[in-house]
Amino acid sequence: MEPLEKLARILDEEQFKKVEAIKNSELHRFLAEWIEHLKPRKVFVCTDSEEDEQYVRWKALYYGEEKMLETPNHTVHYDNYYDQARDKANTAILTLNGEKLPFINTKDREEGLKEIKELMNGIMKDKELFVCFFVLGPKNSVFTIPAVQLTDSAYVAHSEFILYRKGYEEFRRLGEETRFFKFVHSEGELDERKTSRNLDKRRVYIDLIDETVYSVNTQYGGNTIGLKKPAFRLTINRAVKEGWLSEHMFLMGVNGPNGRVTYFTGAFPSMCGKTSTAMVPWERLVGDDLSFIIPVNGKARAANVEKGVFGIIQGVNPKDDPVIWKVLHSPVEIIFSNVLVKDGKPYWNEMGVEIPEEGENHSGRWWRGKKDAEGNEIPPSHKNARFTVSLEHFPNVDLEALENPCGVELGGIIFGGRDADTWPPVREAFDWDHGVVTLGAALESETTAATLGKEGVRAFNPMAILDFMSVHLKDYIGNYLRFKEHLRRAPKIFGVNYFLRDENGNWLNHKLDKAVWLKWMELRVHGDVDAIETPIGYIPKYEDLARLFREVLNKEYNKEAYEKQFTIRVPELLAKIERIEKIYREKVGEVPEELFKVLEEERKRLLEARGKYGDYISPFALE
């Protein structure tokens, strides 16, 4: 039987007409195969209409996956107590013949597909299946990647309507030409709190060959929202094959002199200042998480993959995060997940206001001092509690840039990590290769209390993308180095570090100093200020920073603070080169020789400078 005939038999007339209107035989085959396999009680196909989106919102409440809060348009969702983060152990890239890749969890493709099909056989027999169409990137553009999501979770579908641009009409417009991603998700059997029960059978498998992600027995957004991190693995693979960049980067505009706007992307590991940088209130927010960077007519142009934010809520407070705080207290559509609720109001850890002594949270009924089965005290909200909201509600969003089908021209790329003793607060690479290798490929970040294990351990995390890598690291780095060949002028590459400390462990930077580093980078992109050449790149001159601190923060910036922050720490920098070189030689292998050449050149410059100036070099000595 032909797929369309099967679908006519499986679906009711109204839903079949929606599918039939899309003239794509591969889509029909995929839907027929999986609807027949999942065996749902009912199927609802979502078009781009407001009515269909409203139906999904209502079903999230009807099925108990979300509950209404006191503020209009606010709802709360809970995941299982043990289903609160990406499941790294049970997430795998499916590879032919079980090929192993460094730093990546892999599984034999044949074995993985067999297992997932067994787990999902008839799994939706008492449930409603939602078929949803979205696009990654702006519609009808060089960035557009259409995607179809199958899910029995109205919460997952609702989240995607907030986070992504609707794609049903794009599927209709493109017809047989549509090259699309596919996502199949089932939350599986639910418990009395409407959370996934069979977590021992939780799996997230990424099939690069068929560009399909399968996710089962989980509700947590990072495992289930197909177009989020599951799709990220697919786009990294496609980008490396096609010669563009799919990156774990924010996208923002920095306002320069005389009305000029310069756009930057930035990659930071978790808890390193990525969101707070993207949301500096007086700059222009375009995206906080994922960016595509594509060469267009010799220029690097960037676009936000998404149109919403799936953000960590812990620590959001009115003083440090005024923009997010204002949005979270507005009557706009927001899904809060895994927070404390009391009398219809959400509360979260470190929010800067008094938190109730009891209420409901991700553990069920909660009271201060409550412990879990392992004897750990349960905080009011989970450390990975989230909020899901559309970017259009942020007062500083650059909507024109967000929806521009041509994206924005990229002036600079920023890499930042949590580093107590090595990198200065801001610097500029000498050129593309130098930046890719010494700032991107060499990125490390110290672990924090939010990470399991010991604090302060340096974790290797090139381009802040290691958790999502789907190809061999040598191919990913090679693609990055080659990317400049498509450009007449490559974006400048910068490194930042907001976590530098002195010998007594005191912070050398204030939280808001990042606003000054951004302004300096914007000026450097256009050659408006000079810089000091050091063995590791260009650093700001004191006079320029002193002026910017007065202009941006109305703050005096003294020479002593500058000297402490921008001292070149030769022993620590040499030790870092040794660590990075060892990782690439021993754990990665076969990386482009260019990487080792750039590291060796930096080592020679540092040794030469040490011979002249000693181990710790004042920036004033290099002027």
489-507 pLDDT tens trace: 999 999 999 999 999 999 9
Distance CA 148, CA 157 (A): 11
Output the furthest CA–CA distance in the chain (Å, rounded): 81
Q: How confident is the model at residue 455 (pLDDT cuts 50, 70, 90)?
A: low
Radius of gyration of the chain (CA): 25
Q: In 3-state terms, what secondary structure has residue 436?
A: helix
User: Which contiguous run of DSSP H or E holds residue 68?
Assistant: strand 66-68
Q: What is the mean pLDDT of the chain?
A: 96
Residues in the chain: 623
Is pLDDT of 172 > 50? Answer: yes
158-167 pLDDT tens trace: 999 999 999 9
Stretch 234-260: mean pLDDT: 98
Q: Tell me which residues are annotated as active site.
A: 272
Distance CA 299, CA 316 (A): 36
Residue pointed to by tokens 């809970």: 78
Q: How confident is the model at residue 589 (pLDDT cuts 50, 70, 90)?
A: confident
Distance CA 442, CA 580 (A): 6
Is pLDDT of 270 > 90? Answer: no
Q: What are the start-end ranges of the E strands in 99-144?
A: 106-108, 128-136
Neighbours of 554 (CB within 10 A): 7
285-337 pLDDT tens trace: 999 999 999 999 999 999 999 999 999 999 999 998 999 999 999 999 999 99
Angle at 133 between CA 132 and CA 138, to 5 degrees: 140
User: Which contiguous run of DSSP H or E holds residue 460?
Assistant: strand 458-460
What are the helix and strand counts (H, E) for the chain?
A: 19, 33
pLDDT of residue 450: 44
CA proximity to 364, closest of 96, 82, 171, 129? 82
339-398 pLDDT tens trace: 999 999 999 999 999 999 999 999 999 999 999 999 999 999 999 999 999 999 999 999
Domains assigned to the chain: 3-63+87-242 (3.40.449.10), 246-309+400-622 (3.90.228.20), 310-392 (2.170.8.10)
Per-residue buried b or exposed e for 421-459, using 16+ beta carbons within 10 Å of the residue's own CB: bbbbbbbbbbebbbbbbbbbbbbbbbbeeebeeeeeebb
pLDDT of residue 453: 52
pTM for the model: 0.96
pLDDT of residue 353: 95
DSSP code of residue 88: S
Q: Where are the alpha helices (DSSP H) in 216-321?
A: 221-224, 229-242, 274-278
Distances (CA, A) of 411 to 109, 264, 283, 480: 40, 6, 15, 16
Distance CA 214, CA 33 (A): 14
Distance CA 170, CA 134 (A): 8
Is pLDDT of 465 > 90? Answer: yes
Looking at per-residue confidence, does 480 or 270 come out higher? 480
- What does the block give as tokens for 213? 């992600």
Neighbours of 593 (CB within 10 A): 8
